[in-house]
Amino acid sequence: VTPLLNHGYLAPIEHWGSDERVIEAARMSTAKGFQGWGPFPCTEPGCMPVEMPGDLNFCTKCKGTGEIPGDEKLLRYLYTHAHHTPFEMAGMVIEVQAPIFVFREWHRHRTQSYNELSARYTELPDMFYLPDESRIVGQSATNKQASGEELDEGLAEWARAEMALSQQRARIVYESLLKAGVAREVARIVIPVSQYSRMRASANLRNWLAFCTLRMDPKAQWEIRQYANAVGALLAERFPRTWALFMEGK
Ligand SMILES: Cc1cc2nc3c(=O)[nH]c(=O)nc-3n(C[C@H](O)[C@H](O)[C@H](O)COP(=O)(O)OP(=O)(O)OC[C@H]3O[C@@H](n4cnc5c(N)ncnc54)[C@H](O)[C@@H]3O)c2cc1C
């Protein structure tokens, strides 16, 4: 489990497939299956040993390198030539706890499947995202969506205290409404988007990579970037060769 922000986390639930399975899927076209990761020593009769590199140029099979590439060559070809469907043969399910405004951005990724905590069924947890003072910065002067420079001294401290107050106030009203018998689905109307929610998300490897491309980017909001980086760390463990290609292409 990776802790994120002040109360969030990202946990792996399960994954399927592997870099090898991607190759196997692509090889359905030739019925050859996975041949192994290289490089392998060149076995061409007459090919000189690698210790004599000057004499190797005559070998047409290894082009004088003494080595024959393995299936890493095919994986690279698939990845760099947008042959995407074999990467749909692998995937991952994760559990995420994040503020509702992060989920608002996340749920735009329609190729993932989601199941989220319901505030109609369950009382929301008393958990709000309160950014550190260092995160409370000014509006960017050049990018209409983004954060900019540090605020003047004392402003961030004041803003953070105001945020905390409004969250506490919202919570007090929410609890009073529930206590008075107001329906959960109605009482939640007072809850701000800094409220934490919880979900499971599932996607295939192709679409997790698309998510990482968009949400690890510096243009994405800092908070969702923390989650996308954590998704990336899980993908790197489970699909190391595909992830290396993704990072090369960034
Ligand atoms: C920095 C940033 C700023 C953003 N700002 C805004 C904003 O101001 N307002 C806003 O509304 N959104 C905003 N978004 C969300 C953005 O428009 C996308 O909805 C989001 O990034 C999901 O991308 P996607 O559609 O590629 O992903 P997915 O929905 O997962 O789709 C993946 C791919 O499947 C294909 N696809 C899926 N559905 C369809 C379809 N219906 N028709 C055709 N092809 C489809 C497309 O090729 C798509 O790229 C922003 C996103 C980012 C990263």
DSSP labels for 191-230?
Answer: --TTBEEEEEEEEEHHHHHHHHHHHSSTTS-HHHHHHHHH
Asked whether 146 lines ligand 1 (CB < 6 A), one says no
Does residue 213 have a pLDDT over 50? yes
> Which residue from 108, 205, 223 has its CB within 8 A of the most atoms of ligand 1, so it is best to mutate?
108
Return the axis-axis angle of helices 222-238 and 240-249, rounded to nearest 10°: 140
Q: Compute the Cα dihedral for 183, 123, 197, 156 and give only its sign.
A: positive
CA pair distance 180, 102, nearest whole angstrom? 31
Token output for 213: 């491309």
Residue nearest to atom 23 of ligand 1 (CA): 109
**pLDDT at residue number 47:** 77
Does residue 56 have a pLDDT over 50? no
Mean pLDDT across 53-57: 53
Task: Quote the ligand 1 centre to 41 CA distance (angstroms).
Answer: 45
Q: Does 215 participate in catalysis according to the annotation?
A: yes
Query: Looking at ligand 1, which atom is closest to the CA of residue 105?
Result: 15
Task: Quote the ligand 1 centre to 203 CA distance (angstroms).
Answer: 15
Does residue 60 have a pLDDT over 90? no
Asked whether 210 lines ligand 1 (CB < 6 A), one says yes
Residue 12, φ and ψ in degrees, nearest 5: -75, 135
63 confidence band (pLDDT: 50, 70, 90) = confident
In this predicted model, which residue has the larger pLDDT, 221 or 54?
A: 221
Mean pLDDT across 35-54: 77
Does residue 22 have a pLDDT over 60? yes
**pLDDT at residue number 53:** 54
Residue given tokens 């490089």 in the structure block: 39
Query: Looking at ligand 1, which atom is closest to the CA of residue 110?
Result: 29
Share of the chain above pLDDT 70, in %: 96
**What does the mean pLDDT of the chain come to?**
93
Most confident of 33-42, 57-66, 191-200: 191-200
**pLDDT at residue number 66:** 82
In this predicted model, which residue has the larger pLDDT, 150 or 86?
A: 86
Catalytic one of 215, 225, 238, 241:
215
Asked whether 110 lines ligand 1 (CB < 6 A), one says yes
